[in-house]
Amino acid sequence: MSHPEHPNLHVLEHPLIQDKLARIREVGTPPGFFRALVSEVAGLMVFQISRDLPLRKSRVETPLEETEVFRLAAPVTIVPILRAGIGLADGVASLMPEARVGHIGLYRDESTLAPVSYYCKLPDDISEGPVFLVDPMLATGGSAAAAVKVLRENGCRDVRLVCLVAAPTGVKTMHEADPDVPVFTAALDRELSEVGYILPGLGDAGDRMFGTR
The string of pLDDT tens digits covering residues 42-59 is 999 999 999 999 999 999
72, part of any domain:
yes
How confident is the model over 93-103, as pLDDT tens digits?
999 999 999 99
Residue 138 φ/ψ, nearest 5 degrees: -115, 90
Tell me what pLDDT residue 149 has: 95
Q: Please enumerate, as own/partner, the contacts of 27-35 that have beta carbons within 8 Å and a separation of 24 or more.
A: 27/203, 29/208, 31/208, 31/209, 31/210, 31/211, 34/208, 34/209, 35/87, 35/209, 35/210
Q: pTM of the prediction?
A: 0.92
CATH at residue 117: 3.40.50.2020
2, part of any domain:
no
106, part of any domain:
yes
Listed in sequence order, the residues at least 6 apart from 205 whose beta carbon sits closer than 8 Å to its beta carbon are: 38, 84, 87, 136, 137, 164
* Domain extent for 38: 9-210
* Angle ∠(13,191,107) on CA atoms, nearest 5: 95
* Residues of the chain with confidence (pLDDT) below 70: 1-2, 113, 213
**How many angstroms separate the CA atoms of 201 and 170, rounded?**
13
Tell me the catalytic residues. Answer: 108, 112, 204, 207
Count structural domains, the chain: 1
4, part of any domain:
no
**How many angstroms separate the CA atoms of 29 and 39, rounded?**
14
Burial 176-204 (b: 16+ CB within 10 A, else e): ebbeebbbbbbbbbeebeeebbbeebbbe
